[in-house]
Amino acid sequence: MKNGRITPGSNLAKGPFHFLKIMRASSYVILILLLTWIGQAGCSGPQTGTEKRERFVDSLLGEMTLEEKIGQMTLYTSGWTITGPALDSNYRQYIIDGRCGNIFNAHTVGYNMELQKLAVEESRLGIPLLFGYDVIHGHRTIFPIPLGEASSWEPALAERSAALSAREAAASGLNWTFSPVADLSRDPRWGRIAEGSGEDPLIGARFTEARVTGYQGSDLSDRNTLAACLKHFAVYGAPEAGRDYNTVDLSKRTIREVYMPPYQSAVEAGVATAMASFNEINGQPATSSRYIEDILRQEWGFEGVLVTDYGAIAELVPHGVAADSAHAGELALKAGVDMDMQSGIYMKNTTRMIREGILEEAIIDEAVRRVLRLKYDLGLFEDPYRYLDAEREKEVVHAQELLDHALEAGRRSIVLLKNEPFNGKKLLPVLKQPGSIALIGPMADNEVDIMGSWHAAGDPGIVVTLAEGLKNRFPGSEIKTTEGCGFYGKDRSGFSEAVRLANISDLVILAIGENYVQSGEAASRSDIGLPGVQQQLADAILKTGKPVVTVIFAGRPLTINRIDENLPAVLWAWQPGTRGGDAVADVLSGAYNPSGKLTVTFPRNVGQIPIYYSTKNSGRPFDADNKYTSKYLDVPNEPLYPFGYGLSYSEIRYSNLELNTHEISFTDTLQVSVTVSNEGPYAAEEIVQLYTRDLIGSVTRPVKELKDFTKIKLAAGEKQVVTFFLTADDLRFYDIDMNFIAEPGDFLVMTGPHSADLLSAEFKLEK
Ligand code: BGC
């Protein structure tokens, strides 16, 4: 022990941690000492892991000054300059002074080792730092954006992406990711729709849970795992007018039924931390809202660390609930916010407020306990350098397994939207190598935008662009590439070269869409058409009369009516990540038969938003022959592509929807079977979806709600019977008094390839 500091060898904590350390290094004698110590400490019987941790945390807390406690509740960012990482010199001093216990945006073993040493060797108590980072869809190796990955309808795929991201990030010195994003959204104007799993609560819950499990594994102290962070709590995905950070004002029922399930699933999966969102929700900014204590902690039992979003405590002032920053800090503390990301308000004001009796120290102690427990669970007290192994970093970063998975996840996230004959023949798959291919558009050979928003530390140097992917798949074709135009402005000077290349080629691949900053945070759009003059580029290419396959890369649904009307083959690639070029080329060539389906509705125009499949019927449902029904004068009610939609190169047919009974009680299970046949020439995968409708409820119910899904493999010509099981639990909803119940009565059960093409049957839930 030097200067009373806790280092791996010190005995300051005078607790089990200290004894354990010695024990690992030596023998039974120490074990006896440990047991004696436990006896002296008044314990009967051996301590559980939790008891040991609590003793450790309590004894450490007992040694901390108020400033050091607040330090554990403070999180500051590292900078990153062209020459590499750079920490503000004030922050360096704060770490040494024990006034900053957590850093984000610092990564790589070399750099984080330097910072960890400051904390462990230079600060009085030597408490290790947490290193947080936005590992949203991969770290150095980038997987598809989460909305894209959700199109696989395979939570297990997302779990593996999260597990591999955790392994790579942990090998780069990190121990905490600000992910998963559980924000459900029904508004594609909102740029952060890219980061979530789409519009449906069941899909959102299954993917969020899978990602938490993937990041955290079963043991947080495993060097291959990270602490996950459920974000952004709550209802960040429903800002008015789709404008990021804007007001959220929704009914309690909608919040509970639609927006909460993904957040709750993360808590049930044991997520270690959560982040409060920037928005206000029904009159209270999330950072000072009762949702944290009432729902997250009390109702769902979340025991982890609650961190703010970037500088969000300071934003309580412009939100209009705090008079000044000190008041803002007080509100956040009282709401149960444990850690202040970047505003520095806890650091500046809390000590004084406690001395003046405005706040009780017990609030601080509880928050600090949560942070120390997390550090303990991560194994940082046992070995603060456990994530800082330069050899391991070299081995794991960009490892083949990650690159292979990036390809697999990329292929599985792609959705085939259209594949109509051109001159009597479907263009996809491109089975015969064309003599020449013109690859046209700003996404043709683009290694940055293909990674999507929040690619953070994603490495463009290892990205396979579409041009490269096509060269790998079509080695016998001559491939000529030109951008034609950019993502912004009106410059059409590249059109003539694009048209020239199209005219001299056998096949045109048009690679267009959004760049990586046109979706994501602070990237809301009021017009979600193709940006810049890309539509005009598509028109010009179409006029050549050449066969054109359109591949669209984007972070959100776009209104692509003209493309849909005029171009024969359309592939939606989202932003597929590091192996994106290979993934798209595999789908184009038929090496992979596309199996993705949309988890978000594609509108025809912005006026249809919010648009989602699980709408209510209204008192005047659409009727083409009656003007006075719920509809538009200028656009159909139907979306361009419905929720659950996506094609295969094969032909999939649904038949024989059968129920084992047409009446169930509250304790019965209904079996719903359907025959799914592959009538096309290729092996295929199919996502089979199950929906219900409560026909008469004490409150109005949606016309369809997804209740289950599965993905099956079918050889060419194969048939399979898929069976789903439903119980009364699956039919619950919030009644007028907000009780979560199922009501007896008549229901429809529906299944099919997507939400607008379903077979249906009726059943009754009996009292
Ligand atoms: C975002 C969060 C992110 C944080 C830290 C904020 O602007 O809203 O999602 O985790 O920055 O980078």
Q: Which residues of the chain have pLDDT under 50?
A: 1-43
Which domain range does residue 93 map to?
Answer: 1-133
Q: How far is the CA of 610 from the centre of ligand 1 (A)?
A: 25
Q: Are residues 595 and 656 in the same domain?
A: no
Would 435 be classed as within a structural domain? Answer: yes
Element (H, E) at 285: strand 284-285
Distant-in-sequence, close-in-space partners of 342: CB < 8 Å, separation ≥ 6: 75, 76, 77, 310, 311
From the list 398, 377, 396, the residue with the least C-alpha distance to 388 is 396
Q: Whose CA is nearest to atom 10 of ligand 1?
A: 178
The atom number, within ligand 1, closest to the CA of 179 reads: 10
pTM > 0.75: yes
Q: How far is the CA of 275 from the centre of ligand 1 (A)?
A: 9
Token pair 């005009």 is found at 536
**Do 267 and 302 touch, CB atoms closer than 8 A?**
yes
For 259, the 3-state DSSP assignment is helix
The atom number, within ligand 1, closest to the CA of 232 reads: 9
Q: Whose CA is nearest to atom 8 of ligand 1?
A: 309
Measured in degrees and rounded to the nearest 5, phi and psi for residue 129 equal -85, 150
**Ligand 1 probe mutation, 309, 315, 343, 519, most atoms within 8 A of CB:** 309
CA distance 684 to 714: 5
Q: Are residues 567 and 656 in the same domain?
A: no
**Do 677 and 655 touch, CB atoms closer than 8 A?**
yes
The atom number, within ligand 1, closest to the CA of 195 reads: 9
Q: Are residues 688 and 598 in the same domain?
A: no
**What pLDDT shows up at residue 84?**
77
The atom number, within ligand 1, closest to the CA of 181 reads: 9
Would 76 be classed as within a structural domain? Answer: yes
Catalytic residue among 183, 200, 309, 377: 309
CB environment 292-322: b (16+ within 10 A), e (fewer): beebbbeebebebbbbbbbebbbbbeebebb
Would 140 be classed as within a structural domain? Answer: no
**What pLDDT shows up at residue 275?**
98
- 535-572, pLDDT tens digit by residue? 999 999 999 999 999 999 999 999 999 999 999 999 99
**Ligand 1 probe mutation, 102, 226, 273, 521, most atoms within 8 A of CB:** 521
Q: How far is the CA of 178 from the centre of ligand 1 (A)?
A: 8
| Chosen domain end from 608, 637, 664 | 608
The atom number, within ligand 1, closest to the CA of 105 reads: 12
| 663 strand-pairing partners | 764
Would 704 be classed as within a structural domain? Answer: yes
Q: How far is the CA of 310 from the centre of ligand 1 (A)?
A: 6
**Do 180 and 230 touch, CB atoms closer than 8 A?**
yes
**What pLDDT shows up at residue 177?**
98
From the list 164, 139, 136, 162, the residue with the least C-alpha distance to 404 is 164
| Chosen domain end from 94, 118, 133 | 133
**Ligand 1 probe mutation, 105, 178, 246, 454, most atoms within 8 A of CB:** 178
Q: Whose CA is nearest to atom 12 of ligand 1?
A: 134
**Do 765 and 742 touch, CB atoms closer than 8 A?**
yes
Residues lining ligand 1, judged by CB closer than 6 Å?
134, 178, 231, 309-310, 521
**What pLDDT shows up at residue 468?**
98
**Do 43 and 331 touch, CB atoms closer than 8 A?**
no
Q: Are residues 591 and 659 in the same domain?
A: no
Q: Are residues 724 and 592 in the same domain?
A: no
CA dihedral defined by 313, 289, 191, 556, rounded to 10 degrees?
150
Q: Are residues 698 and 596 in the same domain?
A: no
Angle (CA) 493-499-505 rounded to 5° is 145
Q: Are residues 502 and 568 in the same domain?
A: yes
Would 445 be classed as within a structural domain? Answer: yes
Would 721 be classed as within a structural domain? Answer: yes
Q: How far is the CA of 369 from the centre of ligand 1 (A)?
A: 24
Q: Whose CA is nearest to atom 11 of ligand 1?
A: 310
Would 180 be classed as within a structural domain? Answer: no
Would 184 be classed as within a structural domain? Answer: no
Q: How far is the CA of 384 from the centre of ligand 1 (A)?
A: 25
Q: Are residues 578 and 451 in the same domain?
A: yes
Q: Are residues 591 and 521 in the same domain?
A: yes
| Chosen domain end from 101, 133, 165 | 133
Lay out the sheet containing 719-726: strands in order across.
Answer: 652-659, 670-678, 719-726
Q: Whose CA is nearest to atom 6 of ligand 1?
A: 310
CATH number of the domain residue 721 falls in: 2.60.40.10
**Ligand 1 probe mutation, 230, 310, 341, most atoms within 8 A of CB:** 310
Q: Whose CA is nearest to atom 7 of ligand 1?
A: 310
- What the block records as the tokens of 83 is 């020459």
Q: Are residues 660 and 596 in the same domain?
A: no
| CA distances to 167, 170, 310, 390 from 395, in Å | 11, 12, 33, 9
CATH number of the domain residue 550 falls in: 3.40.50.1700
**What pLDDT shows up at residue 751?**
98
Q: Whose CA is nearest to atom 2 of ligand 1?
A: 309
The atom number, within ligand 1, closest to the CA of 277 reads: 8
Does 389 participate in catalysis according to the annotation?
no
Q: How far is the CA of 455 from the centre of ligand 1 (A)?
A: 13
Q: How far is the CA of 135 from the centre of ligand 1 (A)?
A: 11
Distant-in-sequence, close-in-space partners of 43: CB < 8 Å, separation ≥ 6: 51
User: How many domains does one find in the chain?
Assistant: 3
The atom number, within ligand 1, closest to the CA of 278 reads: 8
Q: Are residues 569 and 712 in the same domain?
A: no
**Please, what is the angle between helix 155-171 and helix 400-413, to 10°?**
150
For residue 339, give the DSSP letter: B
Q: How far is the CA of 278 from the centre of ligand 1 (A)?
A: 9
The atom number, within ligand 1, closest to the CA of 229 reads: 10
**What pLDDT shows up at residue 82?**
72
> For the chain, how many residues are written?
767
Q: How far is the CA of 189 from the centre of ligand 1 (A)?
A: 19
Q: Are residues 21 and 94 in the same domain?
A: yes
| 653 strand-pairing partners | 677
